[in-house]
Amino acid sequence: MQIGFVEAVDFRNYRTLSLAPGPRLNVLSGPNGQGKTNLLEALGLLVTGRSFRTPRIAEIPRWGSPAASLTGDLVRADGTSPTRRAVRRTVERLDDGRWQLGGEPVEWARAIAFGWQDLEIVNGAPSARRSFIDGVAGRLYPVHRSSLIQFRQLLARRNRLLQGRSGDAATRARLEPWDAQFATVGMELVNRRRRAVAALQTELARVYGALCATGGKVEIRYQTALGEASDAAALLAALERAQREEVRRGQTLVGPHRDDLAIEIDGVDARAYGSRGQQRLVALALRLAEMLPVTDAAGTTPVLLLDDALSELDPAAREQIVRELAAAEQVFLTAPEPLTVKGAAVFSVNAGGVASA
């Protein structure tokens, strides 16, 4: 798929914005603080209806504005006849002071975003890797997102019960009705995450090999205390075994909220031993590896939004990335310096304005 055009009003530091991007690689360059990441955020919001940058939508409208809006065209040229979908998204302040996001989802539209914070997938805490794999699973299997919300509610409820002051037996009795549901939804999450890991694996090895000729082999594995088990009964049994300890500590100790991903380069933990450049390349490779499985699942290519993906990398790696991107469909790549890439549409971003360079 592609973004045909986008217009924005009062979006972050853009008073107005109008952009007709190219069908393949688009380079957005400009000095720091001019609006490059804001523009990627707008493109992502147009495509997916969510900001990849923040869950706090109140931050999106231009300071002092009661609303922000985006309109644009999403185009699918992969079927027998091209499909064009007009999209409008709004962020508005309601009378009661809350902020509301408006706009219809487009079921085949996907965007994959990469930014500097993605380094955390490789070198950060387990929660960064869980949200990475949940993001992938959500793009592959849209139901994943709603079951994740449901799981978080069940987990919060369970933890509240565990923190209650009643004695062991009473707590157990109150947990019981929730546990079966917790185990069912929890195991669904685990299984979808495992499938997402499996879907990434082959492409990850290929992409990392392409980006870094001397780089070795990258592998990811899903890590859970549940071992290979894949049915809800296994999670239920683990909850039962952990119950005494759970009551003592007042929190749920087994389930997908405790899982992690192992990321290895040639069998060695990338978090502990990878160089910063290697970690950046692995993080980028993880995002690029998503393209093929997401294309298969959605029936059309995702739009790639790559924020500052070339920084901190050596010239050979930068060249390989650009080569890899040339094979993709629509890509947006920001850079703080002017960048010339053969065949790319180049835009310069300056103080909330975008001009064809």
Ligand X SMILES: Nc1ncnc2c1ncn2[C@@H]1O[C@H](COP(=O)(O)OP(=O)(O)OP(=O)(O)O)[C@@H](O)[C@H]1O
Site residues, Mg ion (CB under 5 A): 36-37
Q: Cα separation of 148 and 346, whole Å?
A: 39
Q: Which residue stretches of 56-167 are H helix?
A: 119-123, 126-140, 143-163
Instruction: Determine how β-strand 303-306 pairs with β-strand 331-335.
Output: parallel
Give the list of residues 6+ apart from residue 75 with CB closer than 8 angstroms, or none. Answer: 1, 2, 3, 4, 82, 83, 84, 85
Binding partner of residue 214 among Mg ion, ligand X, none, CB cut-off 5 to 8 Å per kind: none
Binding partner of residue 267 among Mg ion, ligand X, none, CB cut-off 5 to 8 Å per kind: none
Binding partner of residue 59 among Mg ion, ligand X, none, CB cut-off 5 to 8 Å per kind: ligand X
Taking the complex as a whole, the smallest distance from the CB of residue 37 to Mg ion amounts, in Å, to 3
Question: What are residue 79's DSSP bridge partners?
Answer: none
Residue type, 335: A
Among 258, 336, 339, 350, binds ligand X (CB under 6 A): 336
Which residue, 30 or 302, is less far from ligand X as judged by CB?
Answer: 30
Which residue, 36 or 130, is less far from Mg ion as judged by CB?
Answer: 36
Taking the complex as a whole, the smallest distance from the CB of residue 111 to ligand X amounts, in Å, to 17
CB 18 within 8 A of CB 46: no
Side-chain-side CA neighbours of residue 192 (13 Å)? 25
Taking the complex as a whole, the smallest distance from the CB of residue 334 to Mg ion amounts, in Å, to 6
CA distances from 300 to 17, 20, 138, 253 (A): 27, 20, 16, 39
Question: Of 42-101, which residues contact ligand X (CB under 6 A)?
Answer: 59, 62-63
Which H or E element spans position 218? strand 218-223
Which residue, 14 or 132, is less far from ligand X as judged by CB?
Answer: 14
Taking the complex as a whole, the smallest distance from the CB of residue 307 to ligand X amounts, in Å, to 7
36 contacts ligand X (rule: CB under 6 A): yes
Q: List contacts with ligand X (CB under 6 A).
A: 12-13, 30, 32-38, 59, 62-63, 336, 349
